[in-house]
Amino acid sequence: MLKHNTFFLKSIYFALFVLFLFACSKDDSITPDENPQGNSDTIPNDTIPTDTIPEPVSGIDFVKTYGGSGTDEAVSFVQTTDGSFVILGNTMSTDGDIVDKSTPDNDFWLLKISSTGNIIWSKTFGGTDNDNAARITKTSDGGFLLSGFTTSNDGDVDSNFGFQDYWIVKVSSEGNKVWTKNFGFSGSDQAFKAFETADGGYFITGFFDVSASGGAGNDLQRGANHGVGEYWGIRLNAEGETLWRRYFGGSNNDRSYDALQTADGGFLMTGTSESTDFDKTDPKGSYDYWAVRLSANGDLLWTKSYGGSEIDNSYGLTKTLDGNYIMVGDSRSNNQDVTSARGNADAWAVKFSDGGNMIWQKSFGGTQFETAHSIYQLSNGDLALTGNSRSEDGDLSKNYGGNDAWLFVIDSNGNLKSNEIIGGSGLDFLSEVLETSDQKLVAVGNTESNDFDIPQNRGLKDFLFVKLK
């Protein structure tokens, strides 16, 4: 009886093995899932390319997480001259890797790690209310400029003009506070990027509630009291004192998330706009990508909208090697400027000239929701983008959970070359990417996972640091 049972089991194993080989030999074509949200704007499944999934960027070298038992989210980072990294984010933790914080409110968290991911030092900045970090940039003295917004008026925050203020923190190379500055009125005023200008001063972009300011906040009054939220640009000198302020927008919400200084000394502010009037002269739909070009003195040179009839939000901006610009974000449209939509929302890149003329636009993703939050010009002419993905079709080959971190590379013409999915069964996001001095890609974001690619989770959300091979 034993011999007979053994033969029977071996027969079953052999049959299963043959079936496995047969299954593996079949065409592994992708069948996109139906759209669970029933969005009529979603492109039909049979139009999603099934043969364009690129190879991984280069494979994961290592993944590190940092944080405490609360919510910790990395938003931006830089590489220093010694090869280490300084990461800026937000923390509500008072334990774990956070060593100088005792209250559970939200504070700026500045973390320096070595090239291999080991913690060198950790600093927090803020008051007893919530302080939200948005971007870190390097300064010519070896220090850093931190930007975001605050509702505090104590601790590291010297004053508060209202509900939320622009908050800029200048720190040394060791992360020690040099000075802080507040800018704002009685409403919600949120800075998203501050950077050093060619003359040693600084420029800040973000948005503010012009209705709460009563029309104040524009040192060149143009006789128009705009609407709810405006792009708000502030020019500072080397000591952090205000030189001029300008706002731009229409009657609805206009929010700038990125900016850079142009070759002529002027500025380009980008973000998203809901308005259809005043400075917004060419609306496309519900929300548009919106570019605002200024002179060195803050005078408006031109504005330009890009998008379709639905919601299109831009978050990141870069200058390309040929002197043009690319905005990235996400698009829910499938008409007008958006000609290759794929799903509920796609990562969408728009390249345009210094005069605002569109050169090309490309969509990336699958049948679910994708977005791009940053873009970085690589030394070889390609561009790296980070964001997050929910699809496992179209341009995406897999999905670990509800939301995965996504890093992908395109060439100078917007063609998708490669991508990397990083994540676990929880929610994972990448907020920024850069190329290291040895031409490797690294990125930061946040994670709620503790499985698959994510080695550890210390709390509700952790800083996520990814280095590719």
How large is the average pLDDT for residues 339-361?
A: 97
pLDDT digits (tens, 9 = 90+) for 319-333: 999 999 999 999 999
pLDDT digits (tens, 9 = 90+) for 289-304: 999 999 999 999 999 9
Please tell me the pTM assigned to this model. 0.88
pLDDT bin (cut points 50, 70, 90) of residue 47 is very low
Q: Looking at the predicted structure, is the pLDDT value of residue 164 above 50?
A: yes
Cross-sheet strand order for the sheet of 312-319: 312-319, 325-331, 346-352, 358-364
Q: 341, 333, 332: which is closest to 395 by C-alpha? A: 341
The residues spanned by each domain of the chain are 58-468
pLDDT recorded at residue 384: 98
Q: Looking at the predicted structure, is the pLDDT value of residue 467 above 50?
A: yes
pLDDT digits (tens, 9 = 90+) for 331-343: 999 999 999 999 9
Residue bearing the bigger pLDDT, 36 or 92 = 92
pLDDT recorded at residue 9: 36
How large is the average pLDDT for residues 259-283?
A: 97
pLDDT digits (tens, 9 = 90+) for 416-439: 999 999 999 999 999 999 999 999
pLDDT recorded at residue 41: 33
pLDDT bin (cut points 50, 70, 90) of residue 224 is low
What is the percent of the chain where pLDDT is above 90? 84
Give me the count of residues in the chain: 469
pLDDT recorded at residue 52: 54
Q: Looking at the predicted structure, is the pLDDT value of residue 445 above 90?
A: yes
In whole angstroms, give the CA distance from residue 150 to residue 108: 10
pLDDT digits (tens, 9 = 90+) for 9-26: 333 333 333 333 333 333
Average pLDDT, the chain: 89
pLDDT recorded at residue 430: 98
pLDDT recorded at residue 352: 98
pLDDT bin (cut points 50, 70, 90) of residue 223 is low
Q: Looking at the predicted structure, is the pLDDT value of residue 30 above 70?
A: no
End-to-end CA distance of the chain: 56
Q: For the domain bounded by 58-468, which CATH number is listed?
A: 2.130.10.10
Q: What is the DSSP string of 16-71?
A: HHHHHHHHHHS-----PPP-TT--TTSPPGGGS-SS-PPEESS-EEEEEEE--SSB
